[in-house]
Every structure is written in structure tokens, then in C-alpha cells.
Chain A
């Protein structure tokens, strides 16, 4: 800006400039003839230099041409126009119409209350141009209105609102186009400064009944905007008769579309209104040829008149026509859009058009494909989820990357909704997750990771399949090349480590976890891998020891049966309860799958000294280099693994032949005990609300300023990890082992703390504290039935790609749900616009005041007295009053004033309710319920208000 000023002061406009000024056309030609963008830049900057000189010329012609050039450059070449704001203002009062219009055009393209400080300077000029006088051609007033509509600030609106009145109420035919424009400008003024509603609203209402079609059209448009933007359209209900008249009489499609939109908003408020407008709308739907109008009728019926079966039927027929229009993608798209409106209210509609919807999945247009995908996913229910998801997954394999991810994302969201409520067969779902990962375009790693871990924690029955899927993912070297899938691999590694007891071949697992290509993974995920190796190794070792014990017991008992051996083994060492459940379940089965499982048990128990020692050597070779790794997490975990490895090597278990020797070896039995203790505790999901339950202890001031602490803390080198203490279960096992000696003091403090606030910790004892009000993770599990286990295995072996008629043949496995806050707690992102509220309050003031004036006038005194009395009343009293009024409603005339007052209160409380609703909508279902509830509420209110608004009464009865 300073530079601009410098240029303009140094070079004052001369006569030469005026004489040889280049016109806009010259500049455009110069621009067009410039071959490259670089030369275009020079043309523009040269033109800009000229403009800066010329625009200061006292000659209005020169000034206007230079402003015209600047406007062109600014509009099409994104040049700053704001510095010329004053020059634009200078042109406004020019007696020459073209000059003034150039000024207005520049102003309307660049002025905005937030960026133009000069706007108040225009106030007077705008007022002058609004005034009806022969000196003002309508074109000028139109431009002035346009500028006001675009650049209205609250101040400007307030000052000019009354000047709009003559334009709004003029009756002459010549000014009819101005009147329409004034209506649109008034709308903007209302939006910017709601406090002018008392001035502008009445004339706006009058415009609705004007004889001039343009005015009516503009007024309907304005009310459409107002009613749609209002958080509560109730204040516009008294205007319904006017709109109804237009709906029946008007032949203008533009007007009809707007009227339909208004009714779509008003109809839910008043059931009688809905039945009244139904017939005209259906007629329009039948006879109109304009697709836009037909579509608007459909949309109105589907959004607001869904209770009227016949109309819905008619609309659906039209929607089907839209869907089948092969030559017009627009209609197909809108048809799908219309279907999605009915998804929850009338699912049968979507079912009926199922074929068209599925066909649209392969439409050339991505938008149509996405719409159809949403519809298909919306159709999912327990009985068809398997079939449809398998189809979708296959389809995703063939689709382009973007749409493939769209499909995968939609499946993940729908299936994971509300704690997997659609899923009966978790084995299938886990396998599906595994297949999704195989899609080469899959980029939804994070969500798949979350679900894999979450299912592991929540659904005990799904764990064997989960481990199988995780193994398949881990041993696939191809997946290591896709960075989007690293998170999935991390989840797989964690799952196979945590639930290693279900693994068929732990050695193979270790090989997969330690393959050289894991170097490709980010360090945090490698840390997960190594931690899993730790778990697998300790599992193998413990199994080996158990095996020795079992063999000895067997030889004592003299039994040779394998299954019994297994039973006894799990009896003697109750290591993992789930595992013994599973093996018990299989015991006695004769199918081929039992062999499979026995094989599994076999493998697991079939550790020899050699295999254990091989495993250890393998781990040592692979992990040893990592103990020097630069990444802290990896290094720490690698060292943990090696630490355990060396400790085990030092023990004498190599020489132990029998269990009694084992018992005598104190060191070894201690290690075994420790290892068992470290991993036997099961992980469960933690409620999102758990933190909230911790009450603030007395004497703890959370708001105290802790800035002094930072001084003290800088003296110590505190690593952040030292401050993380989750709960006992978040402890890493090696920490408990190795740090136990070093960190006696903190742990004793922790123990004391836990004793004091034990309620808020997950139970630390194995058997669990029954009194604990916190639900134990995985507690309410049913033991697996023998028969079901077979079926489970059969299912496991059938390829899940074959679409199955999934009659729920087995009970759905238990999915752990913590409390009502789990997974369903929502917070809504939308916020209510404050200005909208202001505006509608103002308008309510105008409209309802108008309507209720006659009935109020006589009782004003009493009501105001009562109001004074009530001022001290609290809300309880008010609610009591509301009850009493609804009970005695209409009984006595003496209560009328009181009744009116309660209305007002109700509006207010209703408003508050709605705000709250907006801010905390729960889910589709609950919001639907809310809405229904809202309607009922509004119905009550209107029933009360009818006696005071004769217009509606006459119209509806």
C-alpha cells in the first residue's frame, strides 16, 4: 500500500494519460496476444501502473475506464482491488449512468464489511439512489440494492432499512423489478442485523400477496430462505394460508419449488397442514413435466410427508423412473439421493429398488457409485451382512483405488457400528478383515488395526480365528511393502503374541515375526513385533515345562489317552482357562476337524529340548543385533527378550528329566511363576468413561498453579515414560520382573495409592473382586457347548467367500460391552448459529405479536401483574403450571392470559431443548425419536395457539 501511495504521488496524471488512455478492450487484446504466462504478467503489471496513474485523474471518464480495467483484472486475474475502494466510491455520485454503474460493479465485487473500512461513506449515496425520483433510473437503484445486498454490514443495514420501505411497498408496474430486488436485499439486511425485523418484516409479508408475479416470486424466495435457515420454523406457520394459495394457484415452477420447500419445513409442525397440502402436491407430481418440480415434490413427500402411504407410493414410483433413466446421470444421482432419504423410515423402498441400486455400483460416475454404496451398506442387517459384504469385498478388489477404499471404509464403519451389532459370525468377520487387507489398494489400515485388537479384547470366541488370520498376515512378505498396512501388521503381531495359545505353530510365528524384512517397519511397530516374540517365547517355554509335568502325571496315572493327558495337564497347571475350555469342547469329537485341533494341541505340546533350544538360538541371532538399535523402544524390548533368554539358559532345565526335580529347582520354578503371572491376566477393554469415575480426592486443588514445579523438575531428568502408570495391567511384564528390585519405593507408594482408591482400578487379583462395581473384562462368558464347537470348526473350514444363507445357527458370541457410555457416547459437531436464533426470535416477535394482538389487548394488565408475581418463581413452578394448563386447557376463559404466557415460556423452553438437542444428537435412531417427540411437542403448542391465530384456524378447518 505504501508503495502504491508513493507511485501515485510521484506521477500525477497528465493530459497525455487522458488522451492516450488504453481502453479495457486494448488491455484484453494485449493480454490475449501475450504468448506465455510470464509475458502476461508483464502486461498486467504495465496495465496496473497505468491504472494507478489514471485513476487519480479528475476526469471521470478517465477514472471510470481505469477502474473498469482494474475491475476486470481483479476479477479474472485475482488482483487486489481494495486499494481502489475510494475511487469506486468517487464514481457513485456521477450523473452519468455508465460511470456510476462501473463504480457500483467495482464496489460490489470488492466491498465487504470485514475488509472495507470505507463502507460507511457509501451510506448517503445509497440512500440517495434508493429514493424514487426521476433523476434515478431504476438501473441505478438496482445496482445500489445489489451493492447493499452484497456488502451489508449491521450498521449499514440499520441505517438503510427504512429507506428500503418505499421500494418494498411501491405499487407501480415500472418499479416491479426493483421491488423484487428490494425483497432480496431486505432478506440480506435481516440476516445481518436481526433488529430491523420490526421495520422490514411486515412489508415483506405484504409482498406475498402482491399482484406482481416477480415480487411474489422474490418474496417466496425470501421466506424460503428464512424458514429453512431458522432453527425453529414455527413463527412462519401463520403464513401457511398464503403459501397454500400459491401452491394451488401459481403456475411458475420457480415459485412452486420454493413453496414446496417451505411446506417441507412447516408440515411436520402441524399434522392438519400435512393432510391439506398432500393433494395439491400429488397433483403437481402427476401432471408436471418439469423434472425439477417433480423432484422437489418427491423430496417434500419423502422428507416431510412420510406418514402418508399413498403419497410415498406415488413418489417412489417417480423415483424409480429417475433411477431407470439411462441417459441422464443427474436423474439417476438424484433418484439415489431420494432413496437414501427413505432409508430409515421406509426400508422396503430401498429393498424394492435393490437391483437398480446394485447396478449403480458400477456406474461410470463416482458420485453415483458412492451414493449407491451408502444405500447398499444401509440395507445391511444381520441376515444379509455376510452375503453382501462378501460381494462388496470382491467388488472392491476390482475397483479403482479410491472407490475400493470407499467400499472398505463403508464396510468397516457399518460392521463395527455399535460394537459389531450386525455381526453374528465373528469368525467370518475376522476373515473378512483379513481379506480386506489383501486388497492392493487398501489404505484403511488404522481402522482395521483398531477392529482387530478390539475384537480380540471383546470377543473371546473369535480369538482362534483371529490368531489364524493374524498369522496369515504376518507371514505374507508382500504386505510389508504397503505403508498403509503397517498398522494392521502391528495389530496382527500383538494379537498373535497375546493369544499365542491358539497358534498352531509358535515356531513358525517367531520366524515370521523375526523375518529380515521387518526392518521396513517403523520402529514402534517393530517394538510390537519384538514384544510378541517375548510372549511367544515364554509361552513355548512354559508349555515345555508343563509337558514334562504332564508326562510324569501320565506315567503315574497309567492313562494313555491323549485327550486325558491334555485334561490333566490343564488341571494341574491352570494356566489359561480359555485354552482348556476349547480343548474340552473338542474332546470326543470324531470329525476331521477334531483331528485338526488335536494336531494343534499336539504341535503345541510337542516341544522337545531341541526345538526349544533351536527357537532360542533363532531368537538370539535375530534379536541380538537389535539390542544395539538406535530406536529406544526397539532396543529396550530387544534387551528384554535377550534378558529372558539368558536367564532361561542359565537355569538347569536342560538337565531336568522329571517334575519332581523341577519343583526342587527353586530358581526355575520362580521364573515360571513370574512368567505365568505376567501373561495370565487377561486384557479387557476399558470404558471411555472410566477416568470420569475417579472423583477428585479432598484437598487436591486441580486448579493450583504448578509453574513452580517446573523449576524443580528441571533439576531432575525426568523422562515422560516415568510418569505413565496406567493400571497394573498396563505394566510390561519385564518391568515387573526387572524393575521390581530397583523400584521398590515407587511401587510401594503405588500400592498404597491403589489401596486407597482401589475402586477405580481394575481388579488385580486373579479371581476378581465381586464387590467391585467395575465390570470385570470378559466375565460374562458362556462356556462353549460341545455341539457348537463342531459347528464352529465346520464353519472355520468352509471358505467364507461362498455366500451362505446365514440363519443364525449358533448363538452370537458375547461381545463385551462396558456401560452405556461405551461406544455410544457422542458429541455433535454442529453448533447452532447464534444469529439465526436472533433473527427468528425477532421475527417471532413481529409475526406472533401481530397475530395475537387482538386477543391480548384486553388482558395485558392482568398478565403483566402475573408476570411480576412469577418473576420470583422458579422453574419447577413453571413446569407445574404447564401441566396444569395442559390439563385445564380451554376450560375457562379467565385462564386465557395465563395460557398465553405459558406459551411464551414454552417456546423458550422448547428453544432451549432444541439447542441441547442440536448439540448432543446421539444416533440416527435417537434423533429420529427426538424429532418425532419434537413434532408431538409442537403439535401441542399449535393446538394451544390455534384460538389466537384465526388465520390458521379458518384455513385448516
Chain B
């Protein structure tokens, strides 16, 4: 699974768009996750990189004016902590008799699911597409046209895979619909 979720959050931490893929979280879990991520990203500065690890996700984010675009992907490269055995010390009853310890294990042998830079490009593409549609897109546009933003995202991402990367293709169905109504 590539993309796990797409979030748009403003500087005040209010969610402006949320789409989860094949990831079923309860409302409370979502609220908690979104809050944690936003706090983490807000604390970061422009000089810091756009990748944050959080829980079992890697979050690729980019800030446009007051809006954060966050894309959560599988964090498959996380360091694995391997349990390495335990020791029992003889007479030292005062100590916990079994002292277990962990050691840093190997980086897991998998190929990263997603290309972080490609996700950044995807975010930019999403912003450009909205820009083309709304003309100088701002937070309010997304608020008042949430379903359009969702439709664009639907065109671009299916089941966590990026399926469409051409702006005119993405916008075609929406323009059709606008013409019809």
C-alpha cells in the first residue's frame, strides 16, 4: 500500500480535508492522529526536511501559505528493535532479577514502498490542479468546495495508488459536471 492518507490542515490545526485509504480508524483515532501529526509538523521550520516519522507512518508534508498538505505513507524503513535476550544476575535480589534489554536491529530488508520526492511532487501537482480550477486557490476555496477537492483527489489517487497525473485529465470530469448543472 502506497498512500495511507491525505490530510489538509491549516495552521490552527483544523482539518480541511481528510481522506484515508484502506485504513480504518475510528473517529477518535483520527482526531488523535491528526492532532499529533499537526503538532509535530507545526513545530518544524522551513530549514527542516519534509519527512517526519510518526507511529507507523512516514509523513511527507509541504506547507502552502496557511495550509499544510500531509500525505501519510507506510514507514517501512523504520529501525527495528530486536529483542536480544535477558540476563539473570545471581545474588542481586535487590535488582529486578531479570533485566531484559533491547538492541538496535537491522534496517528491515525491504524496498521502500514510496518515493518521498515523488510524493512531494504529487502534493505539488494536487495544489497546482486546484489552483488551475479555482484560480489562486486558498483555504476558503477548499472549505466551500470540499466535494470538488475530494473529486480531484479521487481522480488522482485510487486505493492509495497515484493513477492520474495530468491536470486536464483530472479536471475533465469536474468540468463536465459543472457544465451539466
> From B19, which residue of chain A is reached at the shortest CB distance?
A109
Taking A25-B144, A184-B159, A221-B163 as contacts, is the C-beta distance between A762 and B85 under 8 angstroms? no
The 3 closest A-B pairs by CB, nearest first: A184-B158, A292-B117, A365-B48
Tell whether, in the assembled complex, residue A367 and residue B49 are in contact, meaning their CB atoms are under 8 Å apart: yes
The count of residues in chain B whose C-beta lies closer than 8 Å to any C-beta of chain A is: 85
Sorting the interface of chain A by its residue count into under 10, 10 to 19, 20 to 34 or 35 or more gives 35 or more
Q: How far is the CB of B56 from chain A (nearest CB, A)?
A: 12
Contact B164 A180 (CB under 8 A): yes
Residues of A within 8 Å of B65, CB to CB, are none
11 A-B pairs within 8 Å (CB atoms) are namely A75-B15, A80-B27, A109-B150, A142-B155, A143-B154, A261-B113, A364-B47, A453-B92, A453-B95, A490-B95, A729-B91
| Chain A residue at smallest Cβ distance from B146 | A72
CB distance from B171 to the nearest CB of A (A): 12
**A142 & B121 in contact (Cβ 8 Å cutoff):** no
Is A115's CB within 8 Å of the partner chain B? yes
B18 touches A76 (CB 8 A): yes
Q: Which residues of B81-100 are within 8 A (CB) of A?
A: 81-95, 97, 99
The CA-CA distance from A79 to B19 in the complex, in Å, is: 15
Q: How far is the CA of A108 from the CA of B87 in the complex (A)?
A: 52
Are B24 and A115 in contact, with the CB atoms below 8 A? Answer: yes
- Contact, CB under 8 Å: A684 / B90: yes
Q: Which of A265, A527, A827 contacts B111 (CB 8 A)?
A: A265
Q: Is the CB of B159 within 8 A of A185?
A: yes
Q: Does A139 contact B (CB under 8 A)?
A: yes
Is A139 within 8 A of B177, CB to CB? yes
User: What is the chain A residue whose CB lies nearest that of B84?
Assistant: A826
Tell me the bound Cα distance from A683 to B150 in angstroms. 67
For residue B169, which residues in chain A have a CB less than 8 angstroms away from its CB? 177, 214
Residue numbers in A under 8 Å from B86 (CB-CB): 688
Q: Is the CB of A683 within 8 A of B103?
A: no
Q: Does A510 contact B (CB under 8 A)?
A: no
Q: Is the interface of B mostly helix, strand, loop or mixed?
A: mixed
A632 to chain B minimum Cβ distance, whole angstroms, is 13
**Interface residues in B154-168 (C-beta closer than 8 Å to A):** 154-155, 158-165
Check B115–A828 contact: CB distance below 8 A: no
In the complex, besides A218-B163, A457-B90, 13 extra interface pairs with C-beta distance below 8 angstroms are A71-B146, A75-B17, A108-B154, A149-B158, A218-B161, A222-B161, A292-B118, A365-B44, A374-B79, A416-B101, A494-B94, A690-B88, A829-B81
Interface of A is mostly: helix
Q: How distant is the Cα of A686 from the Cα of B113 in the complex, in angstroms?
A: 43
Bound together, the chains give a CA A94 to CA B76 distance in angstroms of: 43
**Given A28-B143, A218-B161, A924 contacting B106 (CB threshold 8 A):** yes
- Kindly state whether residue B39 has any CB partner on chain A within 8 Å: no
Does B14 count as interface, using CB distance less than 8 angstroms? yes
A809 within 8 A of B: no
Map CB proximity to B onto A98-113 as digits: 1 under 8 Å, 0 otherwise.
Answer: 1001100100110010
Please give me the residue from chain B that is nearest to A453 by CB atom: B89
**CB of A234 within 8 Å of the partner chain:** no
Q: Indicate if the CB atoms of A825 and B111 lie closer than 8 Å.
A: no
A225 at the interface (CB under 8 A from B): yes
List the A side residues contacting B105 at CB < 8 Å: 921, 923-924
Given contacts A334-B116, A829-B82, contact A732 B161 (CB under 8 A): no
Cβ–Cβ contact B163 & A214, under 8 A = yes
Q: Is the CB of B101 within 8 A of A683?
A: no
Q: Please report which residues of chain A, range 796-838, place their CB below 8 angstroms from some CB of chain B when the two chains form the complex.
A: 821-830
A228 at the interface (CB under 8 A from B): yes
**In the bound complex, CA of A727 to CA of B22 (Å):** 54
Count chain B CB atoms within 10 A of each CB in A68, A149, A366, A453 and give the residue with the most: A149
Query: Given contacts A143-B154, A225-B2, A823-B84, is CB(A683)–CB(B92) below 8 Å?
Result: yes
Contact B48–A457 (Cβ < 8 Å): no
Binds B, one of A51-59, A295-303, A744-752: A295-303
Question: Which residues from A are CB-within-8-Å of B107?
Answer: 340-341
A823 contacts B85, C-beta separation under 8 Å: yes
Beta-carbon contact of A299 and B112 below 8 Å: yes
Q: Judge whether B136 is part of the interface by a CB distance below 8 angstroms.
A: no
| CB-defined contacts of B158 to chain A, threshold 8 Å | 145-146, 149, 180-181, 184-185, 218
Q: Which of A101, A726, A824, A825 contacts B90 (CB 8 A)?
A: A726
Please tell me which one of the listed residues B87, B115, B117 contacts residue A685 in the complex, with CB atoms under 8 A apart.
Answer: B87
Cβ of A494 to closest chain B Cβ, rounded Å: 6
Contacts of B57 in A (CB 8 A): none
**Interface-side segment among A278-286, A312-320, A325-333, A900-908:** A325-333
Q: Which residues of B contact A114 (CB under 8 A)?
A: 24
- Let me know if A450 is at the binding interface, CB within 8 A: yes
Interface string of A523-551 (1 = CB under 8 A from B): 01001100100000000000000000000
